[in-house]
Amino acid sequence: MRWSKLFIPTLRDAPGDAEAVSHQLLVRGGFIRQLHAGHYSLLPLGLKVHHKVADIVRGGMDDIGAQEFTLPAMHPASLWQQSGRWDAMGEEMFRLVDRKGADIAMGMTHEEIFTTLALEVNSYKELPQIWYQIQTKFRDEARPKSGLLRVREFDMKDSYSFDVDEAGLEASFAMHHDAYVKIFEQLSLPAFAVEASSGAMGGSGSVEFMVPSPAGEDDVVCCRSCGYAANVERARSKVAEITDETGPSTPESFPTPGVRTIAALADFDGGAPPDRQLKTMVMMLDGDMALAVVRGDHQLNVQKLQDASSANDVRPATSEETVERLGANPGSLGAVGVTGFRVFVDHALAGRTNMTTGANRDDWHLRGVSVERDLADAEFVDLREITDGETCADCDEPLTVVRCIEVGHIFKLGTKYSDSLGAGVLDPDGKARPIVMGSYGIGIGRNLAAIAETHFDDRGLIWPVAVAPYEVCITIVNMKDSDSIDAAEGLYQELRRCGIDVLLDDRDARPGVKFADAELIGVPFRITVGPKALADGEVELTARADGESDRIAVGDIVDIATDLVVGSR
Ligand SMILES: [Zn+2]
């Protein structure tokens, strides 16, 4: 393609609200434009990269025998009601009503819809099946931001496996895991697999693929010693044992005027250090009040509470709700003697005695609390957020928390959707059984942005060849020099014949502008055709990644450039 004919609106400055590097550079390089928050137009350069990323993902799916579909984006509410997710998806789901008054869901994922197609699979002999699509999804993100990293409308590769039993699911899951590793390698993304929360997807387990980046929105707990890695929503660590005194046979209340925080109670004469306090949070789980209790110096991870309680909607109770039901304000709350609520207590508090907590009476606390004795209906679950430097549960070495971008997520769904939608097969004994499912996602735009986040310098993007909008840019230094134009035209045609994705910069602009633009949009190789070198029968070849330039004979450049490009695709 000839640059003079293309729409590549490069900008000197990034939009003021763009914090993520990928957001800044994709806008400046003329790849994307925001229509409104969370919705982006892909301009021609952006679409070229998008297609290349999608093709690599498609190739990975085809390699494991997956079959491509395209399903509608608008779904009847009834299917989502059958699976229970019409309610579970809450405000994340875009919904609309048609002219006849029928409720419609804008698809945010397609388990329900693919499962209805699987109703036509009748025998174990037709399994396994792996089905996929690359299609537009809609999610009403609370805070769309960071360019293509967190959007409300995006293309996703979603695939679904259908097996006769758990062993089949394990095999399909492992195949996807391996396919994802290869896909991220081809995309030049330094992704690694971590244990993850399944959230509203349900099922028995899930793995996320993460790329370390300050632009990410996930925290991953990693052990550099043994390789343990888990999303903070799921991570565990070893808590040092604390030896408690036995304490009194029943809790004692004592006045604590003005004491409303863990720290204040630690400083209070007759109080207790944070690790001998119970921190009680009042939460609303699907509208029902519940208590979540962690150690005074620990933090609650809300996703862990959501997973432990299976609630769809989790939020802190308001002060008004709290006072009405518990009779005291935050800062004086506790779970001792409370009835009629679910009480979730973090594992780290199991067996603790002689603890101090709020008395559900403003300015009073209780001491001498034995957790198991005094919180009789407690459900012991994992609630605690792991922090940097804690001890690995597997090898005792320190853990690190790393900020990451999630580039893929794979789920073992089990029979949640086949049960609710009635998708079963006859097994070899002629018995009906539900199909065992998995689902697997890769966001195309998110991956494009993740590549940008990990491949740039102060001059712009440095696309890996495999996804570059163009592989080679031929820059004509002086558009008034007919020899340069002829030579560049010849190289352009020859490289095209060799199957190279080549861009000819034939714009009537200063060479500095042309070089800067080619660097900004991140073309991996540049061939500079200028009168001086050409007089010696040579052109200049520059690699974007390291900026190294070589003079090459005009007669050799096509072979050399082709080898370089093909070798790094
Ligand atoms: Zn470890």
Which domains does the chain show, CATH number per domain?
3-235+401-452 (3.30.930.10), 252-381 (3.90.960.10), 470-567 (3.40.50.800)
Expressed in angstroms and rounded, the spacing between residue 177 Cα and the centre of ligand 1 is 22
Expressed in angstroms and rounded, the spacing between residue 399 Cα and the centre of ligand 1 is 7
Which of 334, 336, 325, 332 shows the shortest CA–CA distance to 375?
Answer: 336
- pLDDT greater than 90 at residue 246: no
Expressed in angstroms and rounded, the spacing between residue 400 Cα and the centre of ligand 1 is 10
Mean pLDDT of 459-486: 98
Expressed in angstroms and rounded, the spacing between residue 406 Cα and the centre of ligand 1 is 22
Expressed in angstroms and rounded, the spacing between residue 297 Cα and the centre of ligand 1 is 23
Sign of CA dihedral 170, 176, 179, 184: negative
Expressed in angstroms and rounded, the spacing between residue 304 Cα and the centre of ligand 1 is 21
Give the pLDDT confidence score for residue 202 in this predicted structure: 73
pLDDT band at 281 (very low <50, low <70, confident <90, very high): very high
Expressed in angstroms and rounded, the spacing between residue 338 Cα and the centre of ligand 1 is 39
Expressed in angstroms and rounded, the spacing between residue 228 Cα and the centre of ligand 1 is 5
Expressed in angstroms and rounded, the spacing between residue 85 Cα and the centre of ligand 1 is 37
DSSP secondary structure letter of residue 92: G
Q: Provide the 10 A C-beta neighbour count for residue 99.
A: 5
> Residue 223: left (phi > 0), alpha (psi -120 to 50), or beta?
beta
Expressed in angstroms and rounded, the spacing between residue 398 Cα and the centre of ligand 1 is 7
Q: Each residue of 218-244: pLDDT tens digit?
A: 999 999 999 999 999 999 999 999 999
Q: Each residue of 41-64: pLDDT tens digit?
A: 999 999 999 999 999 999 999 999
Strands 39-42 and 32-36: antiparallel
d(C-alpha 37, C-alpha 504), whole Å: 34
Expressed in angstroms and rounded, the spacing between residue 221 Cα and the centre of ligand 1 is 10
Expressed in angstroms and rounded, the spacing between residue 495 Cα and the centre of ligand 1 is 51
Expressed in angstroms and rounded, the spacing between residue 237 Cα and the centre of ligand 1 is 9
Expressed in angstroms and rounded, the spacing between residue 532 Cα and the centre of ligand 1 is 60
Expressed in angstroms and rounded, the spacing between residue 194 Cα and the centre of ligand 1 is 13
Expressed in angstroms and rounded, the spacing between residue 223 Cα and the centre of ligand 1 is 5
Lowest mean pLDDT among 119-128, 304-313, 526-535: 304-313
Mean pLDDT of 199-224: 91
Expressed in angstroms and rounded, the spacing between residue 227 Cα and the centre of ligand 1 is 6
d(C-alpha 461, C-alpha 454), whole Å: 9
Q: Provide the 10 A C-beta neighbour count for residue 528.
A: 23
Expressed in angstroms and rounded, the spacing between residue 393 Cα and the centre of ligand 1 is 7
Give the pLDDT confidence score for residue 199 in this predicted structure: 79
Expressed in angstroms and rounded, the spacing between residue 466 Cα and the centre of ligand 1 is 35
Give the pLDDT confidence score for residue 565 in this predicted structure: 98
Q: Each residue of 320-336: pLDDT tens digit?
A: 999 999 999 999 999 99
d(C-alpha 188, C-alpha 463), whole Å: 9
Expressed in angstroms and rounded, the spacing between residue 479 Cα and the centre of ligand 1 is 61
| CB of 533 closer than 8 Å to CB of 539 | yes
Expressed in angstroms and rounded, the spacing between residue 206 Cα and the centre of ligand 1 is 20
Expressed in angstroms and rounded, the spacing between residue 404 Cα and the centre of ligand 1 is 19
Give the pLDDT confidence score for residue 249 in this predicted structure: 94
């097994």: which residue's tokens? 427
Q: Each residue of 431-457: pLDDT tens digit?
A: 999 999 999 999 999 999 999 999 999
Average pLDDT score over the chain: 96
* Type of residue at 527: I
Give the tokens for residue 295.
Answer: 């150690």
Expressed in angstroms and rounded, the spacing between residue 231 Cα and the centre of ligand 1 is 15
Give the pLDDT confidence score for residue 198 in this predicted structure: 82
Expressed in angstroms and rounded, the spacing between residue 563 Cα and the centre of ligand 1 is 43
Give the pLDDT confidence score for residue 554 in this predicted structure: 97
d(C-alpha 30, C-alpha 46), whole Å: 8
Expressed in angstroms and rounded, the spacing between residue 238 Cα and the centre of ligand 1 is 10
Expressed in angstroms and rounded, the spacing between residue 482 Cα and the centre of ligand 1 is 65
Expressed in angstroms and rounded, the spacing between residue 229 Cα and the centre of ligand 1 is 9
DSSP secondary structure letter of residue 505: E
Expressed in angstroms and rounded, the spacing between residue 222 Cα and the centre of ligand 1 is 8
